[in-house]
Amino acid sequence: MYNWSVDTKNLKKNQAKYQTFILEQGINFGLNGKRLSLGNLKKYWPILDIDTHKKAFLQKIVWP
């Protein structure tokens, strides 16, 4: 993930915001060969702001 416009040092101080940022960026813009944490995905699912089509697809995979 390459994001040069966000100061991740300050974002890391709030773990919930940092994890949702990482998940949202990875899902919306690509993982660059990395994997998502299934536990974090399930934990932060209700508050993730991702594309509706991608969210529907992931929901079918994570919760069959």
Q: For 1-54, what is each residue's pLDDT tens digit?
A: 566 688 888 989 999 999 999 999 999 888 888 899 999 999 999 999 998 999
Residue 15, in any domain of the structure: yes
Where in the sequence is the domain holding 24, given as residue range(s)?
A: 8-62
Residue 26, in any domain of the structure: yes
Residue 3, in any domain of the structure: no
Q: Which residues does 12 contact at the CB level (< 8 Å), separation at least 6?
A: 18
pLDDT at 3: 66
Residue 56, in any domain of the structure: yes
Cα distances (Å, whole numbers) of residue 56 to 4, 17, 23, 32, 62: 28, 22, 15, 21, 10
pLDDT at 1: 58
Residue 57, in any domain of the structure: yes
Q: Which of 47, 23, 46 is nearest to 34 (CA)?
A: 23
Residue 18, in any domain of the structure: yes
Domain tally, the chain:
1
